Amino acid sequence: MLEILKKLFGSKPKVFKTDIPRRFELLGRVGQGSMSKVWRARDSHSAKTVAVKVLDKIKTQRFEARFPGLKKPSEGEVAMKLKHPHIVETYEYGTTTEDEQFLVMEFVEGVSLTMVIDAQSESLTKNRLNYMIQLGEALEYFHREGWIHRDLCPRNIMVDTKEQIRLIDFGLVVPNSPDFRKPGNRTGTANYMAPELIKRHATDQRIDIFSYSVTCFEMWTKHLPWESAQTIDAVIHHINKPPTDIRTLAPGIDEEVAATIMKGLEREPADRWQTIAEMLVPLRHAQQRLQPRKKKPRPTTDGE
């Protein structure tokens, strides 16, 4: 009898659903990914201007079904754990009244790295190496926390008004654990996917190092290391070819920076940088050589 009463009256955590249009003043759409829509909004609870991201219910369910029997964390669960100056801060996540997952994030004033690369502006020329290192530091933290991003590319990166890089999307993130590294799950953005991911081999954090290197290559050249492809079949066709040497498309690039990026593009994971921390060492060394900090003038006294 006691067991029956427990089943009938036992407390279950109540799921509170959020009416997005009622709680938030939606000020305008600021982005749309393959699995979500994002609005700039004013939060009636905090009075803050925030970014509200609502995930497509059907596409999210389809993606999560790729991990049968595994407790894959939701994007909101992952995002809430991330605290780093080059990763967008997430304040809250939950479920809408339409049973969609949503996230409330800080609103970043700025533009996507895709736009910055397309413009090849003076700002990019001046800050390219800084952007690379900032993004590398975000990815280093990400890996240290035990995650694989799986979709690192310019459209998932913002450059804010203070020339700071912000990583903004975690929709395809998985834990860096044996079950999630198994062969078979091929997700990501085709032109930035590592060969082992495309071929459905076992993966680890080195797929992010490859994607990071493609992004760095594009920052310097406005081109991909291989001819752009719109389909996985087309990508498979060209991944067996060596990448274009970055020096041919960016003749003035520093040799240490060029060699660092090209090593990150190696076809075999064992030939690449094994960790992003390792890859950052020569980039920081190049930064110290190319962008030496100015010494502050020594204060003087009236007697001098």
How does pLDDT run across 168-202, given as a tens digit for each residue? Answer: 999 999 999 999 999 877 788 889 999 999 888 99
Check residue 32 and give its pLDDT.
Answer: 67
Over range 151-155, report the average pLDDT. 95
118 — pLDDT class (breaks 50, 70, 90) = very high
The vertex-107 CA angle with 101 and 112, nearest 5°, equals 95
Note the Cα 255 to chain centre separation in Å: 27
Check residue 227 and give its pLDDT.
Answer: 83
Check residue 12 and give its pLDDT.
Answer: 46
Can you tell me the distance from the alpha carbon of 122 to that of 85, in angstroms, rounded to the nearest whole number?
A: 24
Check residue 184 and give its pLDDT.
Answer: 79
Torsion of CA 213, 214, 220, 221, to 10 degrees: 150
Q: Are 29 and 19 in contact (CB under 8 A)?
A: no
Q: Residue 25, CB half-sphere, CA atoms under 13 Å: how many?
A: 9
Check residue 272 and give its pLDDT.
Answer: 97
Percent residues over pLDDT 90 in the chain: 72
Check residue 69 and give its pLDDT.
Answer: 84
Helix 255-264 with 276-290: angle, nearest 10 deg: 160
Residue at 222: amino acid letter: K
81 — pLDDT class (breaks 50, 70, 90) = very high
Torsion-angle region of residue 160: left (phi > 0), alpha (psi -120 to 50) or beta? beta
Q: Are 236 and 198 in contact (CB under 8 A)?
A: yes
300 pLDDT exceeds 70? no
**pTM listed for this prediction:** 0.89
Can you tell me the distance from the alpha carbon of 93 to that of 237, in angstroms, rounded to the nearest whole number?
A: 40
pLDDT tens by residue, 9-57: 444 445 589 999 999 999 999 976 778 999 999 999 999 999 999 999 9
DSSP state of 292: P
Burial class (CB in 10 A: 0-12, 13-18, 19+), 12: exposed
Q: How far apart are the first and last CA of the chain?
A: 93
Which whole-number Å values give the CA distances from 284 to 1, 160, 216, 233, 243, in the listed order? 68, 22, 14, 37, 24
Beta bridge partners of 167: 87, 157
302 — pLDDT class (breaks 50, 70, 90) = low
Torsion-angle region of residue 227: left (phi > 0), alpha (psi -120 to 50) or beta? beta
235 pLDDT exceeds 50? yes
Q: Give the H or E element holding residue 129.
A: helix 122-144
Length of the chain: 304
Check residue 303 and give its pLDDT.
Answer: 52
Q: Write phi, then psi, for 71 (nearest 5 degrees).
A: -90, 80
Over range 227-241, report the average pLDDT. 74
The residue among 275 and 236 whose pLDDT is bigger is 275
Check residue 65 and give its pLDDT.
Answer: 85
